[in-house]
Amino acid sequence: MTGTLHRAAGLAVLAFALAGCETDSDDLRAWMDQSRRTMPAIKETIAEPKSFEPFRYQASGETDPFSIAKLKVGTVDSARGGGGIRPDLTRRREPLEAYPLDSLKMVGNLAQRGTTTALLQADSVLFQVRVGNYIGQNFGRVTRVSEDEIAVREIVQDAAGDWIERDTALRLQVQESRK
């Protein structure tokens, strides 16, 4: 008998809860009806979507610009090779490789026994540089030293991660004399 009382009580609570929900939906219906009466109807038609024509990359023998390997920055795929150019990461670094090229100044040169040596200033310290020395932070190697400039070939990575060579120069800094 207690089981029937529990069921009857549960049904009474459920009926009461559902009756409360009915009043909430009446308020909602009334608000929706009022909104439909006061809101103007939208009469614009939506334009039909444009048809999409996919592009097919058909350059045979070329590197696909959308390949995952090409998009990975900072890595070099040995199949592509990047022209075979790579810096020697195992060699001992030279002191001028700690400075960016734009912070180095060529302040003079020396000529001894047919060899021209450039004088570079970095943080108020003078360094002697010859052809073959490394300078700058991008694996720059001195390729030519003349009286008024130093030619440097750097090895840098492009956006695709391939190593490329870039030529640059440091020119002699001439100080104007004060009168």
Quick check: 28 pLDDT over 60? yes
By the 10 Å C-beta count (0-12 exposed, 13-18 middle, 19+ buried), 78 is classed as exposed
120 membership: H or E segment, kind and range:
strand 115-122
pLDDT digits (tens, 9 = 90+) for 41-63: 778 888 888 888 888 767 767 77
pTM confidence score: 0.52
Q: Domains of the chain: which residue ranges?
A: 68-171
Number of Cβ atoms within 10 Å of the Cβ of 137? 15
> Ramachandran region of residue 74, left (φ > 0), alpha (ψ -120 to 50) or beta?
left
pLDDT, tens digit, 9 for 90 and up, residues 86-132: 888 898 999 999 999 889 989 988 888 888 899 998 888 899 999 99
Q: CATH topology for 68-171?
A: SH3 type barrels. (2.30.30)
